[in-house]
Amino acid sequence: MFSPQTYADRRNQLKSKFNSGILLFPGNDESSMNYHDNTYHFRQDSTFLYYFGLDHQAGLVGLMDIDENKDWIYGNDYTIDDVVWMGSMPTIRERSEASEIKYTGNLDELARFLADAIKKGRKIHFLPAYRPEHHIKLFKWLDIAISDTNTFASVELITAVGDQRNIKSAEEIEQLEMAVSVTSDMHTAAMQYARPGMKESEVAAKVYEVALAAGGDISFPIIATINGQTLHNHYHGNIIKEGDLFLLDAGAENELRYAGDMSSTFPVSPTFTQAQKEIYQVALDAHNA
C-alpha cells in the first residue's frame, strides 16, 4: 500500500467536489468457480483500492459521508471457521488504520445507515456496477431494480473520479513503470522461448511465469497465438510451425494492481520472411505516423 496519508488526501480531494450526500464504493466479493469455497482469483475493485487501499479481503465497502466529513469502511470480520483455514487475521478496524480510516462497521450497520439516509432524502452517489453481486447489493440497500442499477449511477461521481484518477502522482507513475517493465520482460521471454513444434500454451505458460515470479499476476487473460487475425483469441492449442508469426498480447499487474499492456508480433523462425518483413514495416509505419 501507499502511505495512509495518500489515501486520506485522495478522499479529501474527491469530497471537495461535493457539497453534500454520500459516496458509496462497494469492494468486490469472492466469485465461486464450481462450488462455494472454490473461488476464482480474488481481484479487488480498482476504485475501492484507489481511495481505501485494502486488498485481499472480499466484501468490504467504502463510504464517504460528505455532510459529516467521515470516511468509513464496512465489512464483516473473519469468523472462527475462516481462521481455521487462513490463520489469525487482523480485524477490519485494524486494517483500516493503514488507509487513515477511523470509522468502521459491519454490513448490517451499513444497511441500516443507508436505509436511514434514504428516509432522510440524502443523495447517495455510486459508480456503475459491473459485477452481479454489486447489482444485488445496490438493490437490497437502495431499493433500485437490478435491471435499472446503472441508470441511477451518479454522473457527478463518475466525472469526479475519472478526472482525479486520470492524473497520476509520481508514486503512481513509478508503479506503472514497474508494471510495464515486467510486461516487457514477459514479451522478451516469449520471443526467446518460442520454437517450432511447441504448443501456444507452452509460450503462454512461460509468459505467465514471468508475471508471477515478479510478485504480481497478469493484468488480463493472455492472448498467445499464431492466429493473430482474431483479436481476442484465448485458445492456446495450436502447434507452432516454422514460418509462423506469433502474436502476444499480455500485461503484468504488480502488487499494488498497477498494470502493463503490450502487444508484440514476432517470427518463430530466427528472422522474418521477406513478405513478413514488408507487412511488419507497413504496420510499424502506420503506428509511427
Per-residue confidence of the chain (289 residues) as pLDDT tens digits? 999 999 999 999 999 999 999 999 999 999 999 999 899 999 999 999 999 999 989 999 999 999 999 999 999 988 888 888 888 889 999 999 999 999 999 999 999 999 999 999 999 999 999 999 999 999 999 999 999 999 999 999 999 999 999 999 999 999 999 999 999 999 999 999 999 999 999 999 999 999 999 999 999 999 999 998 888 899 999 999 999 999 999 999 999 999 999 999 999 998 899 999 998 899 999 999 9
Q: CA distances (Å), 249 to each of 71, 88, 99, 133, 150, in order?
A: 39, 39, 34, 30, 31
pTM for the whole thing?
A: 0.91
CB 55 within 8 A of CB 33: no
Which of 150, 165, 180 delimits the end of a domain?
A: 165
Pairing of strands 217-218, 252-253: antiparallel
CATH code of the domain covering residue 103? 3.40.350.10
CB 250 within 8 A of CB 224: yes
**And the C-alpha cell for 71?**
470516511
Residue 221 has φ and ψ, to the nearest 5°, of: -60, 135
What is the C-alpha to C-alpha distance for residues 284 and 203, in angstroms, rounded to an integer? 24
Are both 145 and 273 inside the same structural domain?
no
What is the C-alpha to C-alpha distance for residues 156 and 274, in angstroms, rounded to an integer? 54
- The domain of 194 spans 170-288
Q: How many domains does the chain fold into?
A: 2
CATH code of the domain covering residue 280? 3.90.230.10
Are both 216 and 143 inside the same structural domain?
no
